[in-house]
Structure 1
Amino acid sequence: MKKLFYSFLLLSSATLFAQKNSSTRFAVANDIVGTVDMFSTNLKSYVQSTRTFKSAAELPQNLKKFNAIAENGLVEYKLKSGFGTLDRLPLSDLNAQYNLAKNTPVLIDGYEFANTDTLIYGNLLSNVQVIDNKGSKTVSVTTKK
């Protein structure tokens, strides 16, 4: 009975980590993924302008590749020139850091990023762990504490 109970707890915790965080609003700047919270708190001085899209249906052609993360809308930021560059990396490099195959999908707040060529801002990487997702190891990034 104890084994069954512990197995249930383990499965529940893994499932909990893989659920989408519906309060996460993703943002894109220069084709690099971040979050609205990241830009509105830490990077205000970098922002030149914003465009907000309330749903995936409203996305212009250049942002259609981000349909999967536009469930709660998507904000496109234009960054000021002359501020240098922000840390960024492809999700395939994140997989490599955790000894996973480079093409393994990555979860960010429960949203699956299957294209590991996608670039993300380094500011998102404050809470990263490897979890068991549907029977395979996956890197999971949590942006909210």
Structure 2
Amino acid sequence: MKKLLYSFLLLSSATLFAQKNPQAKFAVANDIVGTVDMFTANHKNSIQSTRTYKTAAELPQNLKKFSYIADNGLAEYKLKSGIGALDRLALSEVNIQFGLPKDTPVLIDGYEFTNTDTLVYGDILYNMQSVDHNGKKAVSITTRK
């Protein structure tokens, strides 16, 4: 009975981490993915301008490649010049840290990033763990506490 309960809890937690967070609102600056919360909390003095798109259909051509994370809209930030570079890394590097192949899709707040060449800001890497996703190991990242 304990094994059955343990298996159920393990499966439930893996399923929970793989679900899309309905409150996740992604942002892009210089083709690097972050979150609106990250920019407004940590980098508001670095922002020159903001443009918000409510749906994936509204995205301009240069942001169409991010349409898969625009369920809750997408914000585009222009950063002030002369501001130091914000920490960033490719999702393939996250996979390497977890001992996974570079091209393994990464989950961020439940959204699957299949292009692991995608750059993300280090500020969104709040909680990272290895999970079972569609029968394969993958890294799941949570951007909020």
TM-score (norm. length: structure 1)? 0.97
Q: Distance in 2 between matches of 1:98 and 1:6?
A: 24
Structure 2 portions without partners, runs of 5+: none
Q: Distance in 1 between matches of 2:7 and 2:111?
A: 25
Q: Distance in 1 between matches of 2:102 and 2:12?
A: 27
Amino acid of the structure 2 residue aligned with 1:126: Y
Name 1:109's counterpart in structure 2: 109
Structure 1 portions without partners, runs of 5+: none
List structure 1 runs of 4+ shifted beyond 3 angstroms. Answer: none
Q: Distance in 1 between matches of 2:4 and 2:59?
A: 46
Q: Distance in 1 between matches of 2:102 and 2:131?
A: 16
Report if the CA contact (8 A) 2:87-2:123 is conserved.
Answer: yes
Q: Distance in 2 between matches of 1:126 and 1:10?
A: 21
Task: Name the count of aligned residue pairs.
Answer: 145
Cα drift, residue 3 of structure 1: 2.1
Q: Distance in 2 between matches of 1:19 and 1:76?
A: 24
Cα drift, residue 2 of structure 1: 2.8
Name 1:12's counterpart in structure 2: 12
Name 2:121's counterpart in structure 1: 121
CA RMSD of aligned residues (A): 0.8
Identity %: 72
Superposed, 1:47-126 pairs within 5 Å as 47-126=47-126
Q: Distance in 2 between matches of 1:100 and 1:2?
A: 31
Q: Distance in 1 between matches of 2:113 and 2:77?
A: 20
Name 2:32's counterpart in structure 1: 32
